[in-house]
Amino acid sequence: MVAEVEAMYAETRGETGLAGMSPAVRAALARVERHRLVPPGQQAMAYRNHPLPIGNGQTISQPYIVALSTDLLRPEPQDVVLEVGTGSGYQAAVLAEVVKHVYTVELVSDLGRSAAARLAELGYRNVEVRIGDGYAGWPEKAPFDGIIVTAAAPSVPSALVAQLKAGGRMVIPVGGDGWVQQLKVVTKRADGGHDERDIIPVRFVPLVPGK
96-123 residues labelled b (16+ CB within 10 A) or e (exposed):
bbbbebbbbbbbbeebbebbbebbeeee
Query: For residue 86, what are the CA distances in angstroms to 44, 90, 155?
Result: 22, 8, 20
155 has catalytic annotation: no
Of 61, 69, 88, 114, the active-site residue reads 61
- CB-based burial of residue 82 (10 Å sphere; 0-12 exposed, 13-18 middle, 19+ buried)? buried
User: Catalytic residue positions?
Assistant: 61
